[in-house]
Structure 1
Amino acid sequence: MMKKIRKMKPLKKAIQELESNDVLPLNIQDEVLTPDISVNEQVLKQVFENCSDIVFRPILVRRQTKMLLIYIDGLVDTKIVEQVVLKPMMFEGLPNRLENVNTTGEIIQDQLIALSQVRTVSKVREVIEGILKANLVVLTEGESQALLSDLKGFDKRNIEEPTAELSVRGPRDGFTETLRVNTSLVRRRIRSPRLKMEPYSIGELTQTDVMITYIEGIASNSVLEEVRQRVQRIQIDGVLESAFIEEFIEDFPFSPFPQIQNTERPDVLCASLLEGKVAIFVDNTPFSLIVPMTFWAGIQAAEDYYERSIYSTFIRWIRFILINISLLLPSLYVAITTYHPQLIPTNLLISIAAAREGIPFPTVVEALMMEFLFEGLREAGIRLPKHIGSAVSIVGALVIGQAAVQAGIISAPMVIIVATTGISSFSFPRYDLGTAYRVLRFPMLLVAGMLGLFGVACGTLAIIIHLNNIRSFGIPYLSPVAPQIPRELKDVLMRTPRWKMTHRPMQIAGKEKMRIPDGQKPGPNRGDQTK
């Protein structure tokens, strides 16, 4: 009896401090639970004061054993609580062979409560964390331990096709806001015990679950260790989306180019894991992170690997040309028409001069106005409701562009140039990389208006130098082009047949570089196959 009193004294003292202060004492969460269930209940009610969604449900088993169930209404499946916990205990009571159990551990061992993922804890902090993570907590009179059972039962969004990464051919499932659903989609594709998932909890208030995922032996140990260190050193009050993590772990935070790939497609993430990359899952968001990222990964679409290699290569070249058009076309038009009209054929120059007659603004100002207007219409189309946004962006561009030309404010060639640039910018498979090009388009226009083609050349050279200096978790951003690795150029601007891509990226993968054995070229006679 004296031992019981000694154990209760520290927690009761903490309760007195709690009642005398408005702020929760830091030491109360480090205290150990007491055998007195009323004391534990009082502490937890003080911790969750003014939390109307926290349910405290006392029950009495055969008028002898007092128990207390604690859970969050809306996060725990109440039907399972009623059928598996409340009904057996309140109406059936303790089985005869368990009437004299002394600890919660014995109850679990004898399977009194038929629940999965059950564990016992002894500290107040562990109980609080368990409640906040959608666990059912069971306290029993006379025991200094609590039973935690994972009974998550909140509403989940169904698995749907990703909206940001559409493809004609390929899987139609996408990540959701539920972490375990996302990890299960990856497990369905990579059925190997070498697929590892390391859990972390980030955010002082949100305690967001974060999962580092990789394939053991394929992922580089140096990259993996760097990812662990950067994730562990994050100190923040809350994580609401994977972008919160991304901003803390990227190499060059002030670069317009993304250094961490995000995706909501399980097939893209699995393909990256098989190359030796590391994925980061964040709870409450469908967007997962993939590191390291290269520039070429940003211009490759998932569908490139589901179509035949000839077609995929052709589409990649078209995409690459359109990407360069989206950056350089307005600045080249401004530079040539302003400083180098001799480069334009005579008939075309006469047409442009006739169209610009009476326009009150220089070409560079005209281009900046139209680009600003186009970006405004694009933003309006995104923010407005789905059915209204597309109509506003298309109709608005047509109406405003035509009215500006008729009013003599904007020339017709400039409308064509900006429209072509806008269409080209839609060819980016990754939205964040397209955003970088949209941002760079404005300084390129300014240097073109001031220095002509020399300014365009200087701006392009500055972008290339910047791309060469970027690293993503130690991997060069332009790899394998700079530094050049000839063997890996098979999957950059062209996509060779899958049976020829025999090795994983040398700078990204770990020990296992070989991916596909040689000599698998298809043909009518396998004896005549060549590598």
Structure 2
Amino acid sequence: METKGAIMNKQSAEALTPFSPSLHANVQAIRNRFGGSCDLVIRLFSSDAAPERELAIIYVDGIVDSETINESIMEPLMSLKLPQYRYQKGGKLLDALRSCVVSIGSVQEINTMDEALLYMTDGLCIILADGCAAALTADVNGGSQRAVSIAQTQTVIRGPQYGFVENIRTNISLIRRIIRSPDLHVQMHKIGKQTHSNVAVLYLHGIVNEGILKEVYRRLAAIDIDGVLESGYIEEFIQDETFTLFPTLLNTERPDSVAAALLEGRIAVLVDGTPIALMAPTTFFSFFQSPEDYYQRYDIASFVRIIRYVAYIVSMLLPALYIAVTTYHQEMLPTTLLISLAAQREGIPFPGLVEALLMEMTFEVLREAGLRMPRAIGPAISIVGALVLGQSAVQAGIVSAGMVIVVSFTAISNFVMPEFNMAATSRIIRFGFMLMAGMLGFFGIFVSVLFMLIHLTSLRSFGVPYMSPLAPGPTRQGLFRDVFIRLPWWAIVLRPLDMNLRNPKRRPNGKKPPAQRHTDKP
């Protein structure tokens, strides 16, 4: 449960409203703050635990577990009787109820109305007693929630199949099941003046860079907004650079990916109400790594990872190269291929740039339509639309068959990326490269790539160079630091050195455990 300081860290500078000793005054104040909402449940009753006192239980229906309230709060209060000396002669009734009656694990005392309102909207139950200028909170969080299921956006063939859900407590428990260490620290924050959304920061104590951790806390504390509905809100507030197409925070819906990031010394940010978690700091090469890379054999994982890099370059440059070659540099093509392309383009009314832009925009519209349409017909519309429109456009002489092939292969290469936000970046940059190729040919492509590399090397993610470990200067880890290839697990000794971790070693040495050799013949 969150501490009182974490609960109130986004309250205004106004003085907090204390409880009144009058039970009915407190109940009426809470009812007025909720404006008579129909889901506010107020139960006034007398209890054998304190026969001469009137008690009240208040909670918001739909976000609590009613069965827990009945079994662990109402039933003990109605059936148990406290000795008089437990709350007389200097004793407190609320202390006696907390220690002897209420059978819920998480119970604490609060003293202000503002705390009570925040706890109630967070799925807790408030216990009030007449004559007490305080209240008890009992954790009875519940209600209808989505069960843990297969990850929807990041599927793997080998490895854990479950993903995060919209409940932040469930998501934290999923990570706890993987990292069963007391060094896994979780700090909860409240962000949003109206939503009061729970935002959890997870890290491994003793490994994480304390400077980066303090910077994460500072950026979260500086967020001033009326509501947070998804982790994308937090991402835009805490990312280093706003005006860049390249994401500087990694997001995932897989608990094993978050656990792996924590073991590398990174920091995870979870937001209540969304299954997408954020991880920081990150580098450009992290977006090419799939969780499955670490579950397959290292040689297979390295081969597939290299394919991803090649596919990413193809998805950005292939249409631009095709435009440049067919428009300005025909001499670079073999004569047979040049004659074939010239025959295809005979009768095409548009230059190569306009033709490529027309096909790319058509494919982007089809992709978006397939995502937004009902799930039952979306894929069918995308496939049929692409086939019908492509074939019809070629037969009508609007585009050439070569351009259809180039655009199709570019789109397929874009789907190879394991991270959607990095794939979306290549889709946007592709149009810039196409325009430069249509105006300046290969020179335009070269200048565009040069500016992109300069921009990439200037980016930071919480102070960590975005192109690390290759830039701003190659480290001793080089290409073998889980960038282009993955070494066997027994050879991976160090965590990423670009974050200056307190404990950079994963294991003592990079030697493979000796295997026992059997020489006996069967």
> What is the aligned partner in structure 1 of residue 269 from structure 2?
280
> What is the aligned partner in structure 2 of residue 189 from structure 1?
178
| Identity, % of aligned positions | 41
Q: Residue 507 of structure 1 aligns to a residue in which SS?
A: helix
Task: Describe the shift of the 1:458–1:36 C-alpha distance in structure 2 as closer, same or farther (beyond 3 A).
Answer: same
Q: Equivalent of 1:410, from 374, 390, 399?
A: 399
Q: Residue 398 of structure 1 aligns to a residue in which SS?
A: helix
C-alpha contact (below 8 Å) 2:87/2:96 kept by paired residues? no
What amino acid sits opposite 2:337 in the alignment? L
Task: Describe the shift of the 1:315–1:242 C-alpha distance in structure 2 as closer, same or farther (beyond 3 A).
Answer: same
> What is the aligned partner in structure 1 of residue 512 from structure 2?
521
Matches within 5 A, 1:107-146: 107-146=96-135
> What is the aligned partner in structure 1 of residue 43 from structure 2?
57
Q: Equivalent of 1:359, from 348, 353, 356?
A: 348
Q: CA deviation at 1:27?
A: 9.9
Task: Describe the shift of the 1:262–1:519 C-alpha distance in structure 2 as closer, same or farther (beyond 3 A).
Answer: closer
Task: Describe the shift of the 1:189–1:426 C-alpha distance in structure 2 as closer, same or farther (beyond 3 A).
Answer: same
Task: Describe the shift of the 1:221–1:472 C-alpha distance in structure 2 as closer, same or farther (beyond 3 A).
Answer: same
Aligned: 1:35 with 2:21: yes
Aligned: 1:87 with 2:87: no
> What is the aligned partner in structure 2 of residue 512 from structure 1?
503
Q: CA deviation at 1:99?
A: 7.8
Task: Describe the shift of the 1:193–1:100 C-alpha distance in structure 2 as closer, same or farther (beyond 3 A).
Answer: closer
> What is the aligned partner in structure 1 of residue 62 from structure 2?
74
> What is the aligned partner in structure 2 of residue 154 from structure 1?
143
Q: CA deviation at 1:281?
A: 1.0
> What's the Cα RMSD here?
1.7
What amino acid sits opposite 1:181 in the alignment? T
> What is the aligned partner in structure 2 of residue 12 from structure 1?
none
Structure 2 unmatched ranges of 5 or more: 1-11, 518-522
C-alpha contact (below 8 Å) 1:29/1:125 kept by paired residues? no
Task: Describe the shift of the 1:80–1:109 C-alpha distance in structure 2 as closer, same or farther (beyond 3 A).
Answer: closer
C-alpha separation in 1, matches of 2:275 and 2:85: 46
C-alpha contact (below 8 Å) 2:86/2:96 kept by paired residues? no
Aligned: 1:489 with 2:479: yes
C-alpha separation in 2, matches of 1:99 and 1:501: 60
Task: Describe the shift of the 1:86–1:511 C-alpha distance in structure 2 as closer, same or farther (beyond 3 A).
Answer: closer
C-alpha separation in 2, matches of 1:220 and 1:211: 18
C-alpha contact (below 8 Å) 1:276/1:509 kept by paired residues? no
Q: Residue 168 of structure 1 aligns to a residue in which SS?
A: coil
C-alpha contact (below 8 Å) 1:259/1:294 kept by paired residues? yes
Structure 1 unmatched ranges of 5 or more: 1-25, 527-531
Matches within 5 A, 1:216-295: 216-295=205-284
Q: CA deviation at 1:186?
A: 1.1
C-alpha contact (below 8 Å) 2:493/2:510 kept by paired residues? no
C-alpha separation in 2, matches of 1:207 and 1:109: 27
> What is the aligned partner in structure 2 of residue 503 from structure 1?
494
Q: Deviations over 1:74-133 (max 9, x none)?
A: 11111222223223433x253445685563333235421112200111111111112111
Query: TM-score when scaled to structure 1?
Result: 0.91
Q: Deviations over 1:225-260 (max 9, x none)?
A: 111111111111000000100000111111000000
Q: Residue 366 of structure 2 aligns to a residue in which SS?
A: helix
Q: Residue 58 of structure 2 aligns to a residue in which SS?
A: strand
> What is the aligned partner in structure 1 of residue 357 from structure 2?
368
C-alpha separation in 2, matches of 1:504 and 1:51: 52
C-alpha contact (below 8 Å) 1:334/1:445 kept by paired residues? yes
> What is the aligned partner in structure 2 of residue 170 from structure 1?
159
Aligned: 1:435 with 2:413: no
Q: Which moved more, 1:478-487 or 1:345-354?
A: 478-487
Q: Equivalent of 1:204, from 188, 193, 207?
A: 193
Q: Residue 450 of structure 1 aligns to a residue in which SS?
A: helix
C-alpha contact (below 8 Å) 2:148/2:164 kept by paired residues? yes
